[in-house]
A = this chain, B = another copy of it.
Amino acid sequence: MAMAELLNSHGCVVEHSEQHRDLGVGCYFQRVEFKYGTMRKTGEQLEASLHEVCGRLGLEFQLSWGTRPKRLCIFVSKYDHVLWEILLRHKAGELECDIPLIVSNHEDLRPIADAFGIRFEVFKITKDTKRAQEDLEIALCRELDVDIVVLARYMQIMSDEFCDAFTHKCINIHHSFLPAFIGSKPYHRAFDRGVKLIGATAHYATANLDEGPIIEQDVERVSHRDSVDDLLRKGRGVERRTLMVALRAHLEDRIIVYGNKTVVFAD
């Protein structure tokens, strides 16, 4: 709570604050949202003070001024439903970010990018070129100051190196209720298993496929009447809304990752 004192003493006004203590792992988390129009010090001074106080208390901190929208790069393949969802919600003002780039391994979705006036770059992937292409993707993202990558049903397994380049900055939407149906074709396997609910999971991509920290999950009811195609259709709906919740949380700096878990502060 020293944060509050510190912010107050600098003339900032705390708007929202939430804390959480994980007694199991002995961790403490706090998120403070504050207005700084009345701040009596410079940003550098505040940052220095935070550095000093947190150092003394053994805390890590991250300071985001909110002046510059995060910059989002969307990776897609041939499925367009998640891409449309992101672009339309962004256009509607629901996602505070800029979208300087869409990356794909196919040409198919270029017209959508064009319609929104967003740069669309194709990096064709073969087994042999994968790592090299990824490096070019990473380089382009860096060049464009990309802060957050979304794998919008990109359908490629990212290398460890790629995941490392975007640690806790790359959100994947997996089309199952993890840890059920890790890996490929989850809807087909859900159909074969005869489940009564299907789900989707938004998580940070890590070197271990589908095992990164989970941000959000949601489900939809299915029945014996649903074919695999029905599961795919219903799944598209769940995928879209699950990713949106996760992406909004990330863009609003409401997520803290610790170990393989997330604290997602309420919106």
Contact = CB atoms under 8 A, between A and B. Distances in A.
A82 to B, nearest CB: 12
A22 B226 CA distance: 9
A66 interface: no
Interface string A251-267: 00000000111111011
Task: Tell which of A23, A115, A194 has the most Cβ of chain B within 10 Å.
Answer: A194
Interface string A13-25: 0111111111110
B219 A219 contact: yes
A237 interface: yes
A39 B241 CA distance: 44
Contacts of A193: 178-179, 214, 260
Interface string A193-223: 1111101000000000000011111110001
B21 A18 contact: no
A16 B1 CA distance: 10
Given A19-B14, A92-B81, A260 B227 contact: no
B1 A8 contact: yes
A223 B181 contact: no
Q: Which of A23, A81, A223 has the most CB of B within 10 A?
A: A223
A266 B223 contact: yes
Contacts of A48: none
Interface in A122-178: 177-178
Nearest to A256: B224
A161 to B, nearest CB: 25
Nearest to A176: B180
A60 interface: no
A18 B213 CA distance: 24
26 contacts: A1-B1, A1-B14, A1-B17, A4-B5, A18-B18, A20-B224, A22-B224, A23-B227, A81-B88, A179-B180, A179-B181, A180-B180, A194-B213, A194-B259, A194-B260, A194-B261, A194-B262, A195-B217, A196-B214, A197-B199, A197-B218, A219-B219, A223-B264, A224-B264, A225-B266, A225-B267
